[in-house]
Amino acid sequence: MVRYLILSFREIVKSSYWMGEKTRQTALEKAEKIVANLAYTSYMMDNVTAVNDEHRNFSAGNSFLLNYLNGRKFAAQVQGRRYANANQPTDWVTRNFIETGPAVINAFYSNTRNSITFPAGILQAPFMGSGYPYYWNFAAIGTVIGHEITHLFDDQGAQADGEGRLINWWDPQSKKAFEERAKTIIDQYSGYNLLGVQLKGANSQGENIADNGGLKESYGAYRMYRKQHLNDTEEPRLPGFETLNSDQMFYLSYAQVWCGDYRKQEVELQVNRPHSPGRFRIIGPLQNSPQFSHAYRCPQGSYMNPIKKAAVW
């Protein structure tokens, strides 16, 4: 599935005529070099004594504070040894010196490694399942994969090349076009209001760019997979949803991922965080998707099919 998402993103880049040719080719090369880390770090399974050996000099006591401080010190020492062995694309992402564990229900990207990481915790229901319809798997875990891919090309990720080096590979015209397109996302999300709280599009532009790109890539990947493996035919319809075709179910499955509710106090905090509230992680990308509007026959100019659409990728 990761490969289909990368291929889908590359197709988007190929049609991004707002980019200069050299910049577009560099973006395609960077996409091709993306490293995907899945489920767990390999050293845990390749060497059965590795974890015990690594923790041999760490001991825990009865003091929470001392355990916390010793744990941070130990984690910094482990990371220091790894940094001394050079930065590897297959190294797992760390947060506050703590390596992302396999039980974590989240996904990550690394600019300096040009990598994306999906722990085992998120590679299960409700994000994916071996018996789930393909449209569900692509709409749920597929958009998460696409989200992380897009992060490598958002306002922060675009500053690194395919080797993870922080160098400017954008020509001035392409960079200006990127910033202008990013502003359409900022303006769109700044116009949203939830429970009387106005969103701040500038705060969440990177995540919003990734949400929009992730949905577009996952739908493209799904149609690519369906054409190659399902002869581009409709998937069997689910009981209770017989009136919805596979494309409609794809977008319904996507919305289910971020479906939730908020108190006003939480919204006031959320607007200062990197992610938009779940409601607009659904509505924002869908409003920008012509494929969604076509699937659900949304009238042009309606709320879910505005004439003016925002996009970076």
3-state DSSP assignment of residue 199:
coil
3-state DSSP assignment of residue 266:
helix
Contact 151, 157 (CB under 8 A): yes
Question: Is the bond preceding residue 119 a cis peptide, omega within 30 degrees?
Answer: no
Asked if 232 is an active-site residue, the reply is: no
Residue/partner pairs of 230-235 with CB below 8 Å, 24 or more apart: 230/134, 235/133, 235/134, 235/135
Q: Of 182, 180, 190, 188, which is closest to residue 209 (Cα–Cα)?
A: 182
Q: What separation in angstroms does the CA of 270 have from each of 109, 192, 276?
A: 21, 13, 7
Q: Of 82, 84, 81, 78, which is closest to residue 55 (Cα–Cα)?
A: 78
Contact 269, 199 (CB under 8 A): no
Q: What separation in angstroms does the CA of 234 have from each of 128, 134, 222, 250, 297?
A: 19, 11, 12, 11, 18
Asked if 242 is an active-site residue, the reply is: no
**Could you say which of 91, 148, 207, 217 is catalytic?**
148
Contact 92, 103 (CB under 8 A): no
Cα–Cα dist 83/10, whole Å: 31
Q: Of 171, 172, 169, 205, which is closest to residue 31 (Cα–Cα)?
A: 169
**Could you say which of 154, 211, 217, 247 is catalytic?**
211
**H or E element in which residue 31 lies:** helix 21-32
What is the phi/psi pair of residue 197, to 5°? -105, 125
**Active-site residue list:** 148, 211
